[in-house]
């Protein structure tokens, strides 16, 4: 399971970096073309799509690393029986929420039919919006794959957010 988690993390890192570079190139191109008096008609629409994709893939990556905001101090201050209930409830809420998002995203894809982007009429809207169910599925997968580590550390009373910060500081001191 750890191998699958690490593989997913590396794939999501690659995709997120590629999307970030793509976004930067699009923005720089738009500025250069606008400066030359030749605005790109597709810039706004494509930049918005790339930003949405970056958001979904990046959030799945953050889920894989357990990097989303949390209340570790409050959570770890709970007695162990309540911590168990809170852990299970929070995981269930997150997974159900993204399952609903994924279902709604999949349902909406069918509604788009043959619609395309306004500025690039060869790009189907269903392709650009496919990130919703795909991103939701990736988030659920990342969450499920990271549950064992989060469970073990939570039950041991280890703040994995603080642990990650301490590790980053240690890595920075070494370099």
38: left (phi over 0), alpha (psi -120 to 50) or beta: beta
In whole angstroms, give the CA distance from residue 154 to residue 89. 14
Rounded Cα distance, 109 and 50, in Å: 18
Q: What pLDDT, on a 0 to 100 scale, did the predictor assign at position 118?
A: 93
Q: What pLDDT is attached to residue 68?
A: 86
- The pLDDT value recorded for residue 113 is 87
State the Rg of the chain over Cα. 20
Number of domains in the chain: 1
Among the listed residues 118, 110, 101, the one whose alpha carbon sits nearest the alpha carbon of residue 63:
101
Task: Kindly list the distances between the CA atom of residue 124 and the CA atoms of 16, 109, 112, 127, in Å, as whole numbers in the listed order.
Answer: 22, 10, 9, 5
Per-residue confidence (pLDDT) for residue 164, from 0 to 100: 81
Per-residue pLDDT of the chain (175 residues), as tens digits, is 889 999 999 999 999 999 999 999 999 999 999 999 999 999 999 999 999 999 999 999 999 999 888 888 888 899 999 999 999 999 999 999 999 999 999 999 999 989 999 999 999 999 999 999 999 999 999 999 999 999 999 998 888 788 888 888 998 998 7
Burial of residue 2, with CB atoms counted within 10 A of its CB: 0-12 exposed, 13-18 middle, 19 or more buried:
exposed
Running DSSP on this structure, what letter comes out for residue 119? S
The predicted structure's pLDDT at residue 162? 83
Domain boundaries, position 158: 2-174
């Amino acid at each position: 399971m750890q191998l699958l988690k690490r593989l997913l993390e590396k794939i999501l890192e690659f995709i997120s970096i590629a999307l970030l570079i793509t976004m930067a190139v699009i923005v720089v191109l738009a500025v250069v073309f606008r400066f030359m008096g030749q605005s790109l008609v597709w810039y706004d629409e494509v930049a918005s799509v790339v930003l949405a994709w970056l958001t979904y893939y990046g959030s799945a990556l953050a889920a894989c690393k357990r990097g989303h905001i949390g209340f570790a101090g409050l959570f770890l201050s709970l007695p162990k029986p309540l911590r168990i209930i809170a852990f299970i409830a929070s995981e269930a809420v997150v997974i159900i929420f993204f399952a609903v998002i994924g279902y709604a995203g999949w349902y909406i894809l069918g509604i788009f039919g043959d619609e395309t982007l306004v500025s690039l009429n060869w790009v189907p809207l269903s392709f650009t919006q496919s990130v919703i169910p795909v991103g939701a599925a990736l988030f659920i997968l990342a969450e499920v794959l990271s549950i064992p580590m989060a469970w073990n550390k939570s039950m041991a009373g280890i703040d994995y957010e603080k642990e990650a910060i301490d590790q980053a500081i240690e890595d920075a001191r070494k370099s």
